[in-house]
Protein backbone atom coordinates (compact mmCIF):
# COMPACT_ATOMS: atom_id res chain seq x y z
CA UNK A 1 0.00 0.00 0.00
CA UNK A 2 1.16 3.50 -0.78
CA UNK A 3 0.09 7.01 0.20
CA UNK A 4 -1.16 8.21 -3.19
CA UNK A 5 -2.88 11.40 -2.06
CA UNK A 6 -0.47 12.84 0.48
CA UNK A 7 1.99 15.73 0.16
CA UNK A 8 4.96 14.57 2.24
CA UNK A 9 6.97 17.77 1.98
CA UNK A 10 4.03 19.92 3.01
CA UNK A 11 3.24 17.60 5.92
CA UNK A 12 6.84 17.77 7.19
CA UNK A 13 6.89 21.56 6.90
CA UNK A 14 3.48 22.23 8.45
CA UNK A 15 2.80 19.39 10.90
CA UNK A 16 5.71 17.13 11.83
CA UNK A 17 6.43 17.75 15.54
CA UNK A 18 4.33 20.94 15.32
CA UNK A 19 0.59 20.20 15.28
CA UNK A 20 -1.81 17.31 14.67
CA UNK A 21 -3.00 16.48 11.17
CA UNK A 22 -6.10 14.65 9.96
CA UNK A 23 -5.40 12.82 6.69
CA UNK A 24 -8.56 11.49 5.08
CA UNK A 25 -7.97 8.13 3.33
CA UNK A 26 -4.81 8.88 1.31
CA UNK A 27 -4.42 5.26 0.13
CA UNK A 28 -5.04 4.18 -3.42
CA UNK A 29 -7.12 1.37 -1.96
CA UNK A 30 -7.24 0.62 1.76
CA UNK A 31 -7.19 -3.00 2.92
CA UNK A 32 -7.22 -3.96 6.58
CA UNK A 33 -4.06 -6.10 7.00
CA UNK A 34 -5.07 -8.12 10.08
CA UNK A 35 -8.23 -9.84 11.27
CA UNK A 36 -9.43 -9.33 14.87
CA UNK A 37 -9.16 -13.06 15.64
CA UNK A 38 -5.50 -13.03 14.55
CA UNK A 39 -4.79 -10.13 16.89
CA UNK A 40 -6.48 -11.95 19.78
CA UNK A 41 -4.37 -15.00 19.02
CA UNK A 42 -1.17 -12.97 19.27
CA UNK A 43 -2.27 -11.60 22.65
CA UNK A 44 -2.39 -15.17 23.97
CA UNK A 45 1.20 -15.99 22.99
CA UNK A 46 4.18 -15.93 25.34
CA UNK A 47 6.72 -13.26 24.46
CA UNK A 48 4.17 -10.95 22.82
CA UNK A 49 3.52 -7.74 24.74
CA UNK A 50 -0.22 -7.19 25.13
CA UNK A 51 -2.65 -5.37 27.39
CA UNK A 52 -6.39 -5.61 27.94
CA UNK A 53 -8.10 -2.45 29.18
CA UNK A 54 -11.66 -2.61 30.46
CA UNK A 55 -14.03 0.05 31.74
CA UNK A 56 -15.16 -0.75 35.27
CA UNK A 57 -17.56 1.79 36.69
CA UNK A 58 -16.00 5.15 35.91
CA UNK A 59 -12.42 3.85 35.89
CA UNK A 60 -10.18 1.81 33.62
CA UNK A 61 -8.57 -1.48 34.61
CA UNK A 62 -5.46 -2.92 32.92
CA UNK A 63 -4.57 -6.59 32.52
CA UNK A 64 -1.21 -7.62 31.03
CA UNK A 65 -0.82 -10.56 28.67
CA UNK A 66 -0.31 -13.23 27.69
CA UNK A 67 -4.06 -13.70 27.99
CA UNK A 68 -5.79 -17.09 28.29
CA UNK A 69 -7.67 -18.10 25.15
CA UNK A 70 -10.91 -18.20 27.13
CA UNK A 71 -10.54 -14.57 28.24
CA UNK A 72 -12.27 -12.96 25.27
CA UNK A 73 -15.28 -15.27 25.47
CA UNK A 74 -15.73 -14.21 29.09
CA UNK A 75 -15.84 -10.47 28.37
CA UNK A 76 -18.98 -8.79 29.68
CA UNK A 77 -20.88 -5.86 28.23
CA UNK A 78 -18.49 -3.22 29.53
CA UNK A 79 -16.39 -1.48 26.87
CA UNK A 80 -12.91 -2.97 26.43
CA UNK A 81 -9.79 -2.52 24.33
CA UNK A 82 -7.03 -4.95 23.41
CA UNK A 83 -3.56 -3.53 22.68
CA UNK A 84 -0.80 -5.63 21.12
CA UNK A 85 2.68 -4.16 20.74
CA UNK A 86 5.14 -4.68 17.85
CA UNK A 87 2.71 -6.61 15.67
CA UNK A 88 4.93 -5.74 12.71
CA UNK A 89 7.45 -8.26 14.04
CA UNK A 90 4.98 -11.12 13.56
CA UNK A 91 2.71 -10.17 10.66
CA UNK A 92 4.35 -9.18 7.34
CA UNK A 93 1.25 -7.30 6.12
CA UNK A 94 1.36 -5.13 9.25
CA UNK A 95 5.10 -4.57 8.80
CA UNK A 96 4.33 -3.34 5.28
CA UNK A 97 2.35 -0.47 6.83
CA UNK A 98 5.65 1.13 7.86
CA UNK A 99 6.92 1.49 4.29
CA UNK A 100 4.77 4.51 3.28
CA UNK A 101 6.03 6.38 6.37
CA UNK A 102 9.74 5.90 5.70
CA UNK A 103 10.04 9.57 4.83
CA UNK A 104 10.92 9.57 8.53
CA UNK A 105 14.35 7.92 8.98
CA UNK A 106 14.37 4.26 10.01
CA UNK A 107 16.35 4.99 13.18
CA UNK A 108 13.33 6.92 14.49
CA UNK A 109 10.83 4.09 13.90
CA UNK A 110 9.69 2.12 16.94
CA UNK A 111 6.93 -0.34 16.06
CA UNK A 112 3.31 -0.84 15.02
CA UNK A 113 0.91 -1.31 17.92
CA UNK A 114 -2.52 -2.64 17.00
CA UNK A 115 -5.65 -2.05 19.05
CA UNK A 116 -9.06 -3.67 18.88
CA UNK A 117 -12.04 -2.19 20.71
CA UNK A 118 -15.74 -2.79 21.09
CA UNK A 119 -18.22 0.08 21.13
CA UNK A 120 -17.13 2.70 23.68
CA UNK A 121 -13.71 1.09 24.20
CA UNK A 122 -10.58 3.22 24.59
CA UNK A 123 -7.54 3.80 26.75
CA UNK A 124 -8.57 7.18 28.14
CA UNK A 125 -7.25 10.69 27.55
CA UNK A 126 -3.43 10.67 27.72
CA UNK A 127 -0.32 12.02 26.05
CA UNK A 128 2.79 10.33 24.70
CA UNK A 129 6.42 11.36 24.34
CA UNK A 130 6.62 10.24 20.72
CA UNK A 131 5.11 10.92 17.29
CA UNK A 132 2.40 8.56 16.13
CA UNK A 133 0.35 7.95 13.00
CA UNK A 134 -3.01 6.44 13.97
CA UNK A 135 -4.31 4.50 10.96
CA UNK A 136 -7.93 3.42 11.17
CA UNK A 137 -8.01 -0.16 9.92
CA UNK A 138 -11.51 -1.39 10.62
CA UNK A 139 -14.66 0.21 12.00
CA UNK A 140 -14.79 3.78 13.28
CA UNK A 141 -13.13 5.68 16.12
CA UNK A 142 -13.81 9.15 17.50
CA UNK A 143 -10.59 11.02 18.26
CA UNK A 144 -10.41 14.12 20.40
CA UNK A 145 -7.14 16.05 20.51
CA UNK A 146 -6.25 18.69 23.09
CA UNK A 147 -3.43 21.12 23.83
CA UNK A 148 0.20 20.36 24.64
CA UNK A 149 0.96 18.67 27.94
CA UNK A 150 4.11 18.51 30.04
CA UNK A 151 5.45 17.08 33.28
CA UNK A 152 3.28 19.53 35.26
CA UNK A 153 0.03 18.44 33.60
CA UNK A 154 -2.24 16.88 36.29
CA UNK A 155 -2.81 13.15 35.98
CA UNK A 156 -5.45 10.90 37.48
CA UNK A 157 -4.26 8.55 40.22
CA UNK A 158 -3.79 5.16 38.54
CA UNK A 159 -1.28 2.39 39.13
CA UNK A 160 -0.94 1.38 35.47
CA UNK A 161 -2.15 4.17 33.17
CA UNK A 162 -1.09 7.81 32.73
CA UNK A 163 -4.49 9.45 32.30
CA UNK A 164 -5.09 13.18 32.06
CA UNK A 165 -7.07 14.58 34.98
CA UNK A 166 -8.54 17.49 33.02
CA UNK A 167 -8.77 16.96 29.27
CA UNK A 168 -10.29 19.77 27.23
CA UNK A 169 -10.26 18.86 23.52
CA UNK A 170 -9.65 21.47 20.86
CA UNK A 171 -10.46 19.24 17.85
CA UNK A 172 -12.64 16.20 17.26
CA UNK A 173 -12.95 13.82 14.31
CA UNK A 174 -14.46 10.41 13.54
CA UNK A 175 -12.04 8.29 11.52
CA UNK A 176 -13.24 5.79 8.92
CA UNK A 177 -11.16 2.87 7.53
CA UNK A 178 -8.06 4.21 5.81
CA UNK A 179 -8.11 7.59 7.57
CA UNK A 180 -4.99 8.68 9.46
CA UNK A 181 -4.53 10.97 12.43
CA UNK A 182 -1.01 12.24 13.14
CA UNK A 183 -0.36 13.28 16.74
CA UNK A 184 2.96 14.94 17.67
CA UNK A 185 4.62 14.36 21.06
CA UNK A 186 2.90 15.65 24.20
CA UNK A 187 -0.44 16.49 22.58
CA UNK A 188 -3.28 15.13 24.69
CA UNK A 189 -5.57 12.77 22.79
CA UNK A 190 -8.41 10.34 23.41
CA UNK A 191 -9.81 7.72 21.04
CA UNK A 192 -13.12 5.93 21.59
CA UNK A 193 -14.57 3.19 19.37
CA UNK A 194 -17.81 4.07 17.61
CA UNK A 195 -19.41 0.67 17.16
CA UNK A 196 -17.83 -2.76 17.46
CA UNK A 197 -14.89 -4.23 15.51
CA UNK A 198 -12.78 -1.08 15.72
CA UNK A 199 -9.12 -1.65 14.81
CA UNK A 200 -6.41 1.02 14.85
CA UNK A 201 -2.77 0.70 13.78
CA UNK A 202 -0.45 3.00 15.75
CA UNK A 203 2.80 3.55 13.90
CA UNK A 204 5.01 4.94 16.65
CA UNK A 205 8.33 6.74 16.47
CA UNK A 206 11.00 7.07 19.13
CA UNK A 207 13.27 9.88 20.20
CA UNK A 208 15.95 9.40 22.86
CA UNK A 209 15.72 11.78 25.78
CA UNK A 210 18.72 13.91 26.72
CA UNK A 211 18.84 12.09 30.06
CA UNK A 212 18.97 8.68 28.35
CA UNK A 213 21.77 9.78 26.04
CA UNK A 214 23.83 11.23 28.88
CA UNK A 215 23.30 8.16 31.03
CA UNK A 216 24.13 5.52 28.43
CA UNK A 217 26.88 7.40 26.56
CA UNK A 218 28.72 8.38 29.74
CA UNK A 219 28.44 4.81 31.08
CA UNK A 220 29.82 3.47 27.80
CA UNK A 221 32.76 5.87 27.89
CA UNK A 222 33.43 5.18 31.58
CA UNK A 223 33.98 1.51 30.73
CA UNK A 224 36.78 2.53 28.37
CA UNK A 225 38.93 4.10 31.11
CA UNK A 226 40.99 2.22 33.64
CA UNK A 227 41.10 2.85 37.37
CA UNK A 228 44.52 4.50 37.05
CA UNK A 229 43.18 7.28 34.83
CA UNK A 230 42.70 9.84 37.59
CA UNK A 231 42.88 13.51 38.36
CA UNK A 232 46.44 14.80 38.58
CA UNK A 233 47.86 18.11 39.82
CA UNK A 234 51.67 18.01 39.64
CA UNK A 235 51.69 21.82 39.50
CA UNK A 236 49.93 22.14 42.88
CA UNK A 237 50.85 25.23 44.92
CA UNK A 238 50.00 26.12 48.49
CA UNK A 239 46.66 27.90 48.93
CA UNK A 240 45.49 30.21 51.69
CA UNK A 241 42.35 28.24 52.60
CA UNK A 242 42.46 24.45 52.36
CA UNK A 243 38.66 24.34 52.14
CA UNK A 244 38.56 26.02 48.72
CA UNK A 245 38.17 24.11 45.45
CA UNK A 246 40.06 26.45 43.20
CA UNK A 247 39.02 27.39 39.69
CA UNK A 248 42.06 25.71 38.18
CA UNK A 249 41.00 22.39 39.71
CA UNK A 250 37.43 22.77 38.39
CA UNK A 251 38.81 23.56 34.93
CA UNK A 252 40.97 20.45 34.99
CA UNK A 253 38.15 18.20 36.30
CA UNK A 254 35.71 19.59 33.76
CA UNK A 255 38.28 19.04 31.02
CA UNK A 256 38.67 15.40 32.03
CA UNK A 257 34.93 14.92 31.65
CA UNK A 258 34.56 16.80 28.37
CA UNK A 259 37.54 15.08 26.75
CA UNK A 260 35.98 11.72 27.52
CA UNK A 261 32.51 12.64 26.23
CA UNK A 262 33.23 14.92 23.26
CA UNK A 263 34.72 12.35 20.86
CA UNK A 264 32.22 12.67 17.98
CA UNK A 265 33.49 9.66 16.04
CA UNK A 266 33.24 7.43 19.10
CA UNK A 267 29.78 8.84 19.85
CA UNK A 268 28.56 8.08 16.31
CA UNK A 269 29.69 4.44 16.55
CA UNK A 270 28.20 4.08 20.02
CA UNK A 271 24.88 5.66 19.03
CA UNK A 272 24.51 3.47 15.96
CA UNK A 273 24.92 0.37 18.11
CA UNK A 274 22.79 1.72 20.95
CA UNK A 275 19.94 2.83 18.69
CA UNK A 276 19.88 -0.36 16.61
CA UNK A 277 19.47 -2.70 19.57
CA UNK A 278 16.34 -4.85 19.16
CA UNK A 279 13.16 -3.69 20.84
CA UNK A 280 12.98 -7.00 22.69
CA UNK A 281 16.48 -8.10 23.60
CA UNK A 282 15.32 -11.51 24.79
CA UNK A 283 13.91 -12.48 21.37
CA UNK A 284 16.19 -14.85 19.45
CA UNK A 285 15.75 -14.74 15.68
CA UNK A 286 18.91 -16.67 14.80
CA UNK A 287 18.61 -19.71 12.52
CA UNK A 288 18.79 -23.09 14.20
CA UNK A 289 22.11 -23.84 12.49
CA UNK A 290 24.87 -21.46 11.33
CA UNK A 291 24.62 -20.65 7.64
CA UNK A 292 27.24 -22.19 5.36
CA UNK A 293 29.22 -19.72 3.28
CA UNK A 294 28.88 -21.91 0.19
CA UNK A 295 25.10 -21.88 0.56
CA UNK A 296 25.16 -18.10 0.77
CA UNK A 297 27.35 -17.92 -2.31
CA UNK A 298 25.03 -20.23 -4.26
CA UNK A 299 21.86 -18.36 -3.31
CA UNK A 300 23.33 -14.98 -4.24
CA UNK A 301 24.53 -16.38 -7.57
CA UNK A 302 21.03 -17.79 -8.19
CA UNK A 303 19.47 -14.36 -7.72
CA UNK A 304 17.53 -15.20 -4.55
CA UNK A 305 16.53 -11.98 -2.78
CA UNK A 306 17.34 -11.18 0.84
CA UNK A 307 14.54 -10.07 3.16
CA UNK A 308 15.03 -8.01 6.29
CA UNK A 309 13.71 -9.43 9.54
CA UNK A 310 10.83 -7.07 10.50
CA UNK A 311 12.05 -7.28 14.10
CA UNK A 312 15.55 -6.09 13.14
CA UNK A 313 16.83 -2.55 13.24
CA UNK A 314 19.27 -1.61 10.50
CA UNK A 315 20.90 1.74 9.79
CA UNK A 316 24.21 3.17 8.61
CA UNK A 317 26.45 6.18 9.12
CA UNK A 318 28.71 7.48 6.36
CA UNK A 319 32.36 7.99 7.21
CA UNK A 320 35.45 9.30 5.44
CA UNK A 321 36.43 8.30 1.90
CA UNK A 322 33.16 6.51 1.23
CA UNK A 323 33.37 4.17 4.22
CA UNK A 324 30.19 3.18 6.01
CA UNK A 325 29.39 1.83 9.46
CA UNK A 326 26.48 -0.60 9.13
CA UNK A 327 24.48 -1.20 12.30
CA UNK A 328 22.29 -4.27 12.62
CA UNK A 329 20.64 -5.22 15.90
CA UNK A 330 23.31 -3.60 18.05
CA UNK A 331 26.30 -4.84 16.03
CA UNK A 332 28.57 -2.56 13.97
CA UNK A 333 30.07 -3.72 10.67
CA UNK A 334 32.79 -1.52 9.15
CA UNK A 335 32.32 -1.46 5.37
CA UNK A 336 34.49 0.13 2.68
CA UNK A 337 34.49 0.11 -1.11
CA UNK A 338 31.96 -2.29 -2.62
CA UNK A 339 30.92 -3.36 0.87
CA UNK A 340 29.90 0.20 1.69
CA UNK A 341 27.58 0.20 -1.33
CA UNK A 342 26.22 -3.19 -0.24
CA UNK A 343 25.55 -1.88 3.29
CA UNK A 344 23.65 1.11 1.91
CA UNK A 345 21.62 -1.19 -0.36
CA UNK A 346 20.68 -3.47 2.52
CA UNK A 347 19.32 -0.51 4.48
CA UNK A 348 17.36 0.95 1.57
CA UNK A 349 14.54 -1.55 1.17
CA UNK A 350 12.93 -4.40 3.14
CA UNK A 351 13.81 -6.79 0.30
CA UNK A 352 17.20 -6.68 -1.43
CA UNK A 353 18.21 -8.38 -4.67
CA UNK A 354 21.99 -8.49 -4.74
CA UNK A 355 24.13 -8.42 -7.86
CA UNK A 356 24.92 -12.11 -8.59
CA UNK A 357 28.53 -11.04 -9.20
CA UNK A 358 28.85 -10.54 -5.42
CA UNK A 359 28.85 -14.31 -5.11
CA UNK A 360 32.52 -14.07 -6.01
CA UNK A 361 33.31 -11.50 -3.30
CA UNK A 362 34.69 -12.91 -0.07
CA UNK A 363 33.90 -9.77 1.96
CA UNK A 364 30.32 -9.74 0.65
CA UNK A 365 29.83 -13.39 1.60
CA UNK A 366 31.29 -12.67 5.05
CA UNK A 367 28.96 -9.71 5.67
CA UNK A 368 25.81 -11.42 4.41
CA UNK A 369 26.61 -14.61 6.33
CA UNK A 370 27.07 -12.65 9.56
CA UNK A 371 23.72 -10.89 9.08
CA UNK A 372 22.02 -14.20 8.34
CA UNK A 373 23.57 -15.87 11.38
CA UNK A 374 22.34 -13.18 13.76
CA UNK A 375 18.85 -13.26 12.25
CA UNK A 376 18.86 -9.77 10.75
CA UNK A 377 18.37 -11.08 7.19
CA UNK A 378 17.04 -14.23 5.55
CA UNK A 379 16.84 -15.42 2.00
CA UNK A 380 13.27 -15.08 0.75
CA UNK A 381 12.91 -18.78 -0.02
CA UNK A 382 13.47 -19.45 3.71
CATH code, 293-379: 3.40.366.30
- Rounded mean pLDDT, 111-137: 97
Please tell me the predicted confidence (pLDDT) of residue 246.
96
Q: Would you list the DSSP string of 281-306?
A: TT-----SSPPPHHHHHHHHHTTPPE
- Rounded mean pLDDT, 27-33: 92
Backbone φ and ψ for 155, nearest 5 degrees, come out as: -120, 155
- Rounded mean pLDDT, 94-117: 97
Residue partners of 275: CB distance under 8 A and separation at least 6: 107, 208, 313, 315, 327
Q: What percent of the chain has pLDDT over 90?
A: 91
User: Do residues 173 and 142 touch, judged by C-beta distance below 8 A?
Assistant: yes
Please write the tens of the pLDDT for every residue from 179-194.
Answer: 999 999 999 999 999 9
In 3D space, the residue among 228, 230, 227, 226 whose CA is nearest the CA of residue 257 turns out to be 230
For 8-205, the fitting CATH number among 2.60.120.650, 3.50.50.60, 2.40.128.20, 3.30.420.40 is 2.60.120.650
Q: Give the pLDDT band of residue 382 (cuts 50, 70, 90).
A: low
Please tell me the predicted confidence (pLDDT) of residue 166.
93
- Rounded mean pLDDT, 190-200: 97
Please tell me the predicted confidence (pLDDT) of residue 72.
86
Please write the tens of the pLDDT for every residue from 219-273.
Answer: 999 999 999 999 999 999 999 999 999 999 999 999 999 999 999 999 999 999 9
Q: Which residues does residue 377 pair with via DSSP β-bridges, in sequence order?
A: 308
The mean-pLDDT minimum among 71-85, 187-201, 239-253, 294-308 falls in 71-85
Domain range list for the chain: 8-205, 209-228+251-262, 293-379
To the nearest 10°, report the CA torsion of 82, 88, 93, 94. 50
Amino acid sequence: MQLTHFDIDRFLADHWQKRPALIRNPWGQWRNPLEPDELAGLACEDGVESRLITLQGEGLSLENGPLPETRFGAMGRSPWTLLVQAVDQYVPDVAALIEPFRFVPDWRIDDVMVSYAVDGGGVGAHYDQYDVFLVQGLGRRRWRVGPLCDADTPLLPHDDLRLLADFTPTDEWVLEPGDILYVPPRFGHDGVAVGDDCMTYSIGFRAPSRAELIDDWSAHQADAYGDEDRYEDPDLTRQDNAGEIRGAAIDRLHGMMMDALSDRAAFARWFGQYNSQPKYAEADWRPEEPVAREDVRALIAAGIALARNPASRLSFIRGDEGAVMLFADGVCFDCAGDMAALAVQICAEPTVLLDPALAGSGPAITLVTALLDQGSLAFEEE
